[in-house]
Structure 1
C-alpha cells in the first residue's frame, strides 16, 4: 500500500500547509481502515479503532468521513486504485511475458486489500445501508481491473471468447484468493496458474 506520511514529533509544530496536513490525515485514515478491516473484520473495525491506529482524534476522522460506511468504502476504493497504479507501474510499456502479468493479477487477490474487501462484502450482505455502496464500488473496481488485464495481456476483445477468457482469469484469481484465506495454498495455486497461463496463450494467440 502507499506510504504513510511522516508524523510530526511530539511538541514540534507542523508547518506544512493546512491542505497538505488534511490530505496526509485522510491518507492515514484510509490506510488504517484497510488494515483494521483486513485484521479484525467489520465488527471489530470501528471509527474509534481506526482513528487510534491512524494517530488522529475521532473528531478528525469524522470530519473527513462522517459515517463508518463513508470511511470503509473510501478506504477499499483508495487502496484498489493504489494497487491498480502499482500493477501498471510493473509493466510501464506493456509486458511481452504474459505469465508475469498473470502472476501479478493473481497477487491482487492474495493480499490485505482482498481480505479487507471480502469483509466489506460480507458486511454489505447484511447491512442494507452499506450494500448499494459496496455493489457500486465492486463494479467500478472490477471494470478497472478488467481494463488493466486486457491492456497488459494485449488481448484483442474483438475476437470471439477473448473477453470471457480474460474475465475467467480474474474470476479464477478471486477464487484462488479465497482459498488462500484459510491456508497457504501457494503450491496448488502455482500449478493452477501455470495451467491457466497455457490456456490463455492458446486463447489469445
Structure 2
C-alpha cells in the first residue's frame, strides 16, 4: 500500500477551471453563429460545452456577460493565432496584399457571425448594449494593433494607415454580411483587388 490514489493524477483546479471556461466560450460563439441570438440560451451553451449548470453560472452569472465575453475573447485569441500562422513577405507591395487577404479572411470566421448577432440584438436591448460597448472599444484597439503587426512597422507608421484601416474594416464587414446571407464562397470576393489597390495607393503612392 503506497497510500496514493489509483489512476492518473488529477489536474490542478486552476487548469481545470481554465479548460472549462475555454469550452464555455467556444460553445457560446458556436451557438450564436449557428443558431442566432434569439435562440442562444445558456442552456444551449451548457449542452454544447458539456458542463453543468453550476459550472457555467460560476464562470458567467449572466447571459449577456457570457456572450459578450465569448465573442471578444475568442476573436482576440484567433487574431493572435492568425498572426502566428502567417508568413508575411518583406516587400511592401506583397506585404500589403497578404495583409489585406488576412483581414478579409477573418470576416469569414464564426466570431464575426457571432459579433453580428450581438450588434443587431443590441439595437433594441439596453442591457446588452451597455455590456457590449466597453468591450467593443477594447476590441477596436486590439484589432488596430493586429493590423499594425500585419502590415509591419514601416507601413503602419504612415499617417494614412489608421483611417485606411477604419475604411477597410467597415467595407469588409459590410461585404461579409452578404456572404452570411447567401452562403457563397468568399474566397473569390472581387473587392479584394480593389482593397489591395486602395491600400497600395494610400501607403505606397502607387
Match of 1:110 in 2: 108
- Stretches of structure 1 that go unaligned for 5 or more consecutive residues are 1-11
Q: Does residue 59 of structure 1 match 2:54?
A: yes
CA distance in 2, matches of 1:130, 1:181: 22
Point out the more displaced range, 108-117 or 94-103.
Answer: 94-103
Q: Does residue 194 of structure 1 match 2:193?
A: yes
Match of 1:165 in 2: 164
8 A Cα contact 1:37 1:116, kept in partner:
yes
CA distance in 2, matches of 1:42, 1:188: 26
**Root-mean-square deviation over aligned CA pairs:** 2.2
8 A Cα contact 1:32 1:50, kept in partner:
yes
Match of 1:6 in 2: none
Point out the more displaced range, 59-68 or 87-96.
Answer: 87-96
- Stretches of structure 2 that go unaligned for 5 or more consecutive residues are 1-6
CA distance in 2, matches of 1:49, 1:41: 11
Point out the more displaced range, 92-101 or 57-66.
Answer: 92-101
Match of 2:126 in 1: 128
Match of 1:119 in 2: 117
Larger helix percent = 2
Match of 2:145 in 1: 147
User: Cα 1:156–1:64, aligned 2, differ >3 Å: closer, same or farther?
Assistant: closer
8 A Cα contact 1:109 1:176, kept in partner:
no
- What TM-score comes out, normalization by structure 1 length? 0.85
Aligned length: 193
Match of 1:179 in 2: 178
User: Cα 1:92–1:195, aligned 2, differ >3 Å: closer, same or farther?
Assistant: closer
Q: Radius of gyration: which is bigger?
A: 2
